[in-house]
Amino acid sequence: MNKLLGGLWCLGLMSFVMVCEPAQSATVATPLYDVTKEVTLEGNVSIVEAFMPGHIPGGHMLVSTSKGIIDGHLGPYALSGKNRISVPTGAHVKIVGVMTTIRGNQVFLVRTIDTGATKYTIRSEHGFPLIQRAVQPTKGINFVSPKGGR
Amino acid sequence: MNRKVFLTLGTFAVLTLLTACSSATHSGGGTTPTLSIAITTAPASAVEINNNTMAAATVANDSTTAGVDWTCSPSPCGSFSPTHTASGAITTWTAPSSAGTFTLTAASTATSTATASSAVTVNSVASNSNLTGKYAFYLSGFDLSGDAYAAAGSVTLDGNGNVTSGEEDLNSTTFTSAIEGDTLTGTYTMNGDGQGTMTLNVSNSSGTDPLVGNNGVQTFSFVVVNSSHMLIIEFDSVYTSSGSMDLQTASTFNAGISGNFALSASGFIGGKPAAFGGVYTASSGTINGIGTADENLDGVTTIGGNLSGTMSAADANGRGTFTLSTPSGSGTFAYYIVGPEALFLTEIDTGGVTVGQSFGQGSGTFSASSLAGGNVLDEPAAFTAIGAANMAGQFASNASALNGVVDYNVNGVVDGLNPNPAITQPPTPEPLNGTKMITSSGYGSISVTVGGTSDFATYGIYATDPTVNINDPNNANGPGGALIVELDGGTLGTGFIVPQTATALSTINEADGFSGIVAILSPDEFLNSTGQFVYSSGSFSGTANINDFNLAAAPPADTENTAVPITGVITADTTNTGRYTVVVTLPVIGAGNSTNYRVQYVANGGFAVGVDTDTNEPGLTEIASEIIEGQQ
């Protein structure tokens, strides 16, 4: 009986080792949105377009900053649908995001836009575009469509 | 045997000659040979609608060598190319888009009363009567506001165009609670080419459910692959999405499912993109997978976690519920049994809008050698920081390594994020190299390097029963494969791997499913289509229903494009056997281009997957995936 239990224990341990073998990690993807490189920029909005020919698809917001004009990429959802965000041309904004290079062009992946009156969160803290944009007129962030989640 | 064949052929030839001669006009005197005409290459006696068959007629004693004119009846009766041939030269007749018996007539151009004819029966690819029984379906896509939704359900079809009953679950990122167990009735109609539409009247306990479809009327467009399997899209003004509809084995509903299964699902959880998968054992209403579950929630990955939960009994439509704990939390899912080794599922808790599939692993065991050989890989809908992405490719693998090629589209950037290559069509595929690991439970992973990008790197893989066809689960011919989940911090999605058993399209009638996000001169358009085309000698033609949502318009605009003509050319990649480049021509949809580019990878004679390789340089970008299945 003890032998049997011992055998089963070993078998169980072996099975555990087998099934719990982690996925190989020889290759590590480098996220386009590297949160460790997140910065805040400030400037005036010169153009807001849901599509700009010659640029990668998705909304774009050109912002004149002290470092020049930044091509802010807003992702596929921010300027689409009935819950699209509204940032007027000429508005003074603070934008938080990550500068990245795509096909030789610098693009600023915008995570939040703060107009002073309203703060929009259009990407998650890991850079994925949010299908439910968050609007922060007060202290708390309220999703346009309040949802739960895990 | 040979003698019989020769006798039959000889009799046919004599009869044909006699028929031709009897209808010829004798135009000369005793010393002038009589002009006559005969069908010398007979068309096929039966073809399917829109298909081609070749014919030739030879004119004898025609001093003018004027040739042959071709006509058919009754009208509309298809077309000849060319309508005039030299004597003995081949013409190709394309059958009409409706079934019937048609007469193909060759007339001497010199003496039009000299004719010869052949009858051809044109058959439908499919009809309403092919669809009988209960069919489970799933869909995922977007509404006209740009919010995501997912659905699964079951419809009972009577073979006469009626949806006699059904049930559906649907969840949206805009809902405060999911729609559960709505009832369905309706109708369906099918063209002879296997394309059709289905109209569902959706009700809840209070009556018509205005949240489903267009105020409770949900319209699907579908294309029949075979009587057990259809590709579907939602084709109304409120939702556009894509999915599958498959015949259910009702006898399995009472017993439920048991045994080992693979699972994958993706969508949104709390508004953030999410994907998860794994392998588990179902037994007596419980689900357990210890150390065999992976999850990617908003770029935060958990690998080798646990799956657990309970499973309610299925109802008369094969519907039940999962309560499933995944590595990051728990969720509730409606499931619909397709058969003993196939389930469709959709999440119905608050905050979860995911859709997935689960397939049996059979009685076999798995090892490092599983999936050895040639395989096709497809990740049709992934999420990245800059937008949607997809990838398809093929690879050969042994027990630990894999090597192949892929094409991908990351938000309009095709086959190379950096540096900045010149865009040419057709694109050059990128190399795929990596390692593979599969345990005895079928749980495993692949780690790859893809040229030109680091977006696609780490995947969980969950092997399925080698006798199950994960894209057509009623097809008992397998060949198995695996579900996959991408587990990278910057990219997540789901897909599948299927063995590559043949590298050429061998079926003539093809069902086509196409879905994607199209950015044209005005931006994001969410687009889904089902279509059917006839493939022959490297080219194809057919039609498609395209549901196009232009979310940039104010207010957002939808266009349900019906029977859009599509033609194209498919060219084999001589370097990478099994890979094809495709040029598609269609009328302009929205503000787009009439020429589109795609790449296809053929997994077997009747199944191929692909990505759209249009880029934003010409003003058109499609981030889209395509699936082609041969109609049987």
Using CB atoms, which residue from A31, A73, A103 is nearest to B420?
A103
Q: Comparing B451 with B212, which gets the higher pLDDT?
A: B212
Mutation for B interface: A101, A107, A147, most B CBs within 10 A? A147
Residues of chain B contacting A145 with CB distance shorter than 8 Å: 147, 173-174, 176, 271
Structure tokens at A95: 């934008």
**Does the pLDDT of residue B415 top 60, yes or no?**
yes
Using CB atoms, which residue from A16, A57, A127 is nearest to B524?
A57
**Does the pLDDT of residue B20 top 50, yes or no?**
no
Is the separation of the CB atoms in B488 and B450 below 8 Å?
no
Average of per-residue pLDDT across B141-163:
93
Using CB atoms, which residue from A23, A81, A128 is nearest to B273?
A128
Residue A121: inside a domain, yes or no? yes
Confidence of residue A77 (pLDDT cuts 50, 70, 90): confident
**B272 CA to chain A: closest CA distance, Å?**
6
Structure tokens at B241: 């999405």
pLDDT tens profile B89-128 = 999 999 999 999 999 999 999 999 999 999 999 999 999 9
Question: What single-letter amino acid sits at B563?
Answer: A
Using CB atoms, which residue from A19, A28, A129 is nearest to B290?
A19
Average of per-residue pLDDT across A65-79:
91
Name the helix (H) or strand (E) containing B272.
strand B272-283
**Does the pLDDT of residue A55 top 60, yes or no?**
yes
**Worst-scoring range by mean pLDDT, B213-217, B264-268, B592-596?**
B592-596
Hey, is B413 helix, strand or coil?
A: strand
**The predicted structure's pLDDT at residue B202:** 98
Residues of chain A contacting B300 with CB distance shorter than 8 Å: 126
pLDDT tens profile B383-401 = 999 888 899 999 999 999 9
How far apart CA B382 and CA B368 sit, in angstroms, is 27
Residue A134: inside a domain, yes or no? yes
**Does the pLDDT of residue A22 top 60, yes or no?**
no
**A49 CA to chain B: closest CA distance, Å?**
9
Using CB atoms, which residue from A84, A123, A149 is nearest to B270?
A149
Is the separation of the CB atoms in B500 and B397 below 8 Å?
no
Question: B28 vs B61, B110, B112, B175, CA distance in Å?
Answer: 11, 13, 15, 84
Mutation for A interface: B140, B147, B323, most A CBs within 10 A? B147
Question: B296 vs B122, B141, B307, B491, B493, CA distance in Å?
Answer: 51, 20, 14, 9, 8
Closest CA to B533 of B543, B545, B521, B546: B543
Residue A7: inside a domain, yes or no? no
Is the separation of the CB atoms in B130 and B239 below 8 Å?
no
Residue A23: inside a domain, yes or no? no
Cα B133 from chain centre: 21
How far apart CA B99 and CA A101 sit, in angstroms, is 56
Residue A126: inside a domain, yes or no? yes
Residue A107 sits in a domain whose CATH number is 2.40.50.140
Confidence of residue B605 (pLDDT cuts 50, 70, 90): confident
High-pLDDT (> 70) share of chain B, %: 90
Average of per-residue pLDDT across B288-312:
94
How far apart CA B223 and CA B241 sit, in angstroms, is 14
**Does the pLDDT of residue A69 top 80, yes or no?**
yes
Is the separation of the CB atoms in A45 and A87 below 8 Å?
yes
**Does the pLDDT of residue B523 top 90, yes or no?**
no
**Worst-scoring range by mean pLDDT, A19-28, B55-64, B407-416, B442-451?**
A19-28
Residues of chain B contacting A32 with CB distance shorter than 8 Å: 384-386, 455, 490
**The predicted structure's pLDDT at residue B482:** 97
Residue A13: inside a domain, yes or no? no
**The predicted structure's pLDDT at residue A148:** 40
Confidence of residue B593 (pLDDT cuts 50, 70, 90): low
Confidence of residue A51 (pLDDT cuts 50, 70, 90): confident
Closest CA to A95 of A114, A82, A70: A114
Residue A122: inside a domain, yes or no? yes
Cis preceding linkage at B76, omega within 30: yes
Closest A-chain CA to B416:
A103
Torsion of CA B215, B527, B480, B364, to 10 degrees: -50
**Worst-scoring range by mean pLDDT, A12-26, A63-77, A132-146, B70-84?**
A12-26
DSSP state of B578: T
Cis preceding linkage at B479, omega within 30: yes
Q: CA torsion sign, B316 to B230 to B163 to B354?
A: positive
How far apart CA B321 and CA B311 sit, in angstroms, is 6
**Does the pLDDT of residue B585 top 70, yes or no?**
yes
**B376 CA to chain A: closest CA distance, Å?**
21
Residues forming a β-bridge with B322? B311, B333
Domain tally for chain A? 1
Q: Are B522 and A53 inside 8 Å of each other by CB?
A: no
Q: What's phi and psi for B461, nearest 5 deg?
A: -125, 145
Closest CA to B156 of B167, B172, B148, B146: B167
What is the DSSP track for B524-558? Answer: -EEEEEEEEEEEETTEEEEEEEEEEEETTSSS-EE
**The predicted structure's pLDDT at residue B351:** 82
Using CB atoms, which residue from B146, B387, B456 is nearest to A81?
B146
Confidence of residue B26 (pLDDT cuts 50, 70, 90): very low
Domains and CATH numbers, chain B: 2-123 (2.60.40.10), 127-247 (2.40.128.120), 505-632 (2.40.160)
**The predicted structure's pLDDT at residue B10:** 39
DSSP state of B314: P
Q: In terms of DSSP bridges, do strands A105-114 and A68-75 run parallel, antiparallel, or are they unpaired?
A: parallel
Q: Are A132 and B271 inside 8 Å of each other by CB?
A: yes
Cα A8 from chain centre: 47
Residues of chain B contacting A103 with CB distance shorter than 8 Å: 413, 416-421
How far apart CA B177 and CA B532 sit, in angstroms, is 37
Residues of chain B contacting A33 with CB distance shorter than 8 Å: 385, 490
Q: What's phi and psi for B620, nearest 5 deg?
A: -130, 130
Confidence of residue B567 (pLDDT cuts 50, 70, 90): very high
Mutation for A interface: B524, B612, B615, B622, most A CBs within 10 A? B524
**Does the pLDDT of residue B540 top 60, yes or no?**
yes
Hey, is B404 helix, strand or coil?
A: strand
**B133 CA to chain A: closest CA distance, Å?**
37
Average of per-residue pLDDT across B134-140:
97
Name the helix (H) or strand (E) containing B188.
strand B179-190
Using CB atoms, which residue from A27, A56, A126 is nearest to B489?
A126
Confidence of residue A23 (pLDDT cuts 50, 70, 90): very low
Residues of chain A contacting B490 with CB distance shorter than 8 Å: 29-33, 126-127
In the A/B pair of chains, how many CB contacts fall below 8 A?
237
How far apart CA B262 and CA B460 sit, in angstroms, is 11
Residues of chain B contacting A125 with CB distance shorter than 8 Å: 298
Structure tokens at B338: 């397709």
Q: Are A25 and B458 inside 8 Å of each other by CB?
A: yes
Confidence of residue A29 (pLDDT cuts 50, 70, 90): low
Q: Are B552 and A24 inside 8 Å of each other by CB?
A: no
Cα B410 from chain centre: 21
How far apart CA B600 and CA B434 sit, in angstroms, is 22
Is the separation of the CB atoms in A102 and A115 below 8 Å?
no
**Average pLDDT over chain A, rounded to whole?**
74
Is the separation of the CB atoms in B414 and B423 below 8 Å?
yes
Confidence of residue B32 (pLDDT cuts 50, 70, 90): confident
Structure tokens at B248: 């259910």
Average of per-residue pLDDT across B457-474:
95
**B110 CA to chain A: closest CA distance, Å?**
58
What is the DSSP track for A53-117? Answer: TTS-SSEEEEEEETTEEEEEEEETTTTSSTT-----TT-EEEEEEEEEEETTEEEEEEEEEE-SS
Residues forming a β-bridge with B316? none
**Does the pLDDT of residue B187 top 50, yes or no?**
yes
Residue A10: inside a domain, yes or no? no
How far apart CA B138 and CA B354 sit, in angstroms, is 11
Render the burial of B325-357: b for 16+ CB within 10 Å, e for the rest: bbbbbebbbbbbbbbbbbbbbbbbbbbbbbbbb
**B433 CA to chain A: closest CA distance, Å?**
10
**The predicted structure's pLDDT at residue A26:** 42
**Does the pLDDT of residue B198 top 70, yes or no?**
yes
**Average pLDDT over chain B, rounded to whole?**
88
**Does the pLDDT of residue B525 top 70, yes or no?**
no
Question: B625 vs B138, B142, B482, B514, CA distance in Å?
Answer: 17, 16, 19, 6
Q: What is the pTM of this model?
A: 0.87
**A90 CA to chain B: closest CA distance, Å?**
21
Which residues have CB under 8 Å from A78's CB, separation 6+? A58, A59, A84, A85, A120, A122, A129, A133
Name the helix (H) or strand (E) containing B3.
helix B2-23
Average of per-residue pLDDT across B323-331:
87
**The predicted structure's pLDDT at residue B25:** 40
Average of per-residue pLDDT across A81-102:
90
**Does the pLDDT of residue B77 top 80, yes or no?**
yes
Mutation for B interface: A82, A142, A144, most B CBs within 10 A? A82
Q: Are B437 and A23 inside 8 Å of each other by CB?
A: yes
